[in-house]
Amino acid sequence: MHLYESHYYGGAWQAPLGAGAIDVLSSATEAVVGRVPRGTSADVDRAVAAARDGFERWSRVSVEDRAQWLEKLAAALKPRVPHVAEAITHEVGTALSYATKVQVEFPIMMIGMNARFLRNATFEEELGNSLVVKEPIGVVGCITPWNYPLHQVVCKIAPALAAGCAVVLKPAEIAPLSAAMLADAAHEIGLPSGVLNIVFGEGKVVGEAIVAHAGVDMVSFTGSLAAGRRVAAVAGDGIKKVCLELGGKSAFVVLDDAPFEKAIPAGVNNCMQNSGQTCSAWTRLLVPRSRHDEAVALATGALAKLTMGDPFDAATRLGPLASAAQRDRVLGYIEQGRSEGATLVAGGGRPADRPVGYFVEATIFANVDPAMTIAQEEIFGPVLSVIPYDTETDAVRIANESIYGLAGGVWSASKERSLAVARQLRTGQVDINGGRFNALAPFGGYKKSGVGREIGPLALHEFFQLKAIQQ
């Protein structure tokens, strides 16, 4: 049981000013595994005051010292890896081995990488008679989702702290424990007070209070399109810079000359990672109409290899979904796919042998029309839509017919062909022929997938203001 009774701000655990707590449930057993306070706007007021105070001092700490603080934070998190991974496996349902590597070790590595990005950054440039200076933007409100809870937090706080900003963070209420453990680590190393501040609670209460607060200079939000819209509106009212990392409906375009036996399983694995609860997941598999049935057979074969079960079991690849609400939402989309006439070829409901926990069978729909709801809306669960296309031009058109533009993939026997298609996709990321995730590359969306970029050295620049001094 992970019990946190306080918020963390001003360098100390602070008693909540309101009443009430949020239970954290295990997605596999539905049992309570943790608790955090249900924050109020009064808690936010105190945390923002602490952050303003922290910013005054932190923004004057030297680059080298800030880099060393980040390295100390990463070092303090390392012994906590099993503890954090266990909490996230409970909260999100991610299989433990994957959670350990991707949900915990990777973000810890990213904290260290930000120290390097900071040391390599330039802060001043002469342009004609101007000295252009990069300065930290101030206090940053960070609001994060539950699907990769520590990763999403690190994507924001590591570059923000590196840039010299102070942070007020509200982690997702479904998966807040890793943020609390991050505060434990920050406290242990004696990170200067007011630099990292955390208020737990609900989006509409604590999240909106952070976004609206006059003491917050910038908002960095990751979550759904609906909440992102609200955040952008409230921040817009205060004329604040906003970074938004929102949803996706990414397409994987398999060209007619691709090695299907490699490409299709890669597409299925991408779609199903973290049980489909990944913003960049390739949830639309676009295949030539002439090879549609072959692709569907390969996809169902690849899916059968992904064992569903207890996320703490070493054989498990697919755990449950994170919450009952998420499970019901995904089941609703599966029902809609059926009723709109898509062909269900695998999965399609709750697994009969898992009555407890938020499990949903990994599901494939074939012969999906690009206009169907399951091909247009973000499902955020283990549901793949196979969409046939006639020509390469057609494939690009279908891939781009989405309100989203976060990620995508292309596979062809020819790298040049893949690259040519990749250049035509209106998305922030494209992997060609199995190209791996790169922690140096900027990540973010076109269209309604968001505004701004995270990850890699470029992310640091989101947290700077530019000042021009004429001389």
Binding residue for ligand NAD, selected from 70, 162, 169, 227, defined by CB under 6 A: 227
25 makes contact with ligand NAD (CB under 6 A): no
Question: Of 358 and 389, which CB lies nearer to ligand NAD in the complex structure?
Answer: 358
Contact between 66 and 34 (Cβ < 8 Å): no
Question: Of 164 and 223, which CB lies nearer to ligand NAD in the complex structure?
Answer: 223
In the structure encoding, which two tokens stand for residue 219, read together? 């908002």
* Helix (H/G/I), strand (E/B), else coil: 145: coil
C-alpha to C-alpha distance for 410 and 102, rounded to whole angstroms: 23
149 makes contact with ligand NAD (CB under 6 A): no
C-alpha to C-alpha distance for 70 and 113, rounded to whole angstroms: 9
Q: Beta strands 408-411 and 431-432: pairing type?
A: parallel
Site string for ligand NAD, 267-306 (x = CB under 6 A): ------------x---------------------------
Query: In whole angstroms, how close is the CB of 284 to ligand NAD at the nearest point?
Result: 14
Query: In whole angstroms, how close is the CB of 461 to ligand NAD at the nearest point?
Result: 17
Question: Of 291 and 329, which CB lies nearer to ligand NAD in the complex structure?
Answer: 329
Question: Of 186 and 242, which CB lies nearer to ligand NAD in the complex structure?
Answer: 242
Query: In whole angstroms, how close is the CB of 251 to ligand NAD at the nearest point?
Result: 15
C-alpha to C-alpha distance for 307 and 388, rounded to whole angstroms: 27
Query: In whole angstroms, how close is the CB of 423 to ligand NAD at the nearest point?
Result: 21
402 makes contact with ligand NAD (CB under 6 A): no
Binding residue for ligand NAD, selected from 111, 180, 198, 231, defined by CB under 6 A: 231
Query: Cβ-count burial of 187 within 10 angstroms (0-12 exposed, 13-18 middle, 19+ buried)?
Result: middle
Strands (E), 89-192: 124-127, 130-136, 139-143, 166-170
* Helix (H/G/I), strand (E/B), else coil: 271: helix
Question: Of 21 and 419, which CB lies nearer to ligand NAD in the complex structure?
Answer: 21
How far apart, in Å, are the Cα atoms of 423 and each of 254, 294, 390, 408, 428?
15, 27, 20, 11, 11
**What's the sign of the alpha-carbon dihedral 371, 373, 379, 381?**
negative
How many residues touch ligand NAD under the rule CB under 6 A: the total is 32
Binding residue for ligand NAD, selected from 47, 73, 143, 459, defined by CB under 6 A: 143
223 makes contact with ligand NAD (CB under 6 A): yes
Chain positions 344 to 373 lying near ligand NAD, rule: CB under 6 A, are none
Binding residue for ligand NAD, selected from 93, 207, 319, 347, defined by CB under 6 A: 207
DSSP 354-379: --SSS----EEEES--TTSHHHHS--
- Given the rule CB under 6 A, which residues bind ligand NAD? 143-147, 152, 170, 172-173, 202-204, 207-208, 211, 222-224, 227, 230-231, 245-248, 279, 378, 380, 406, 445, 449-450
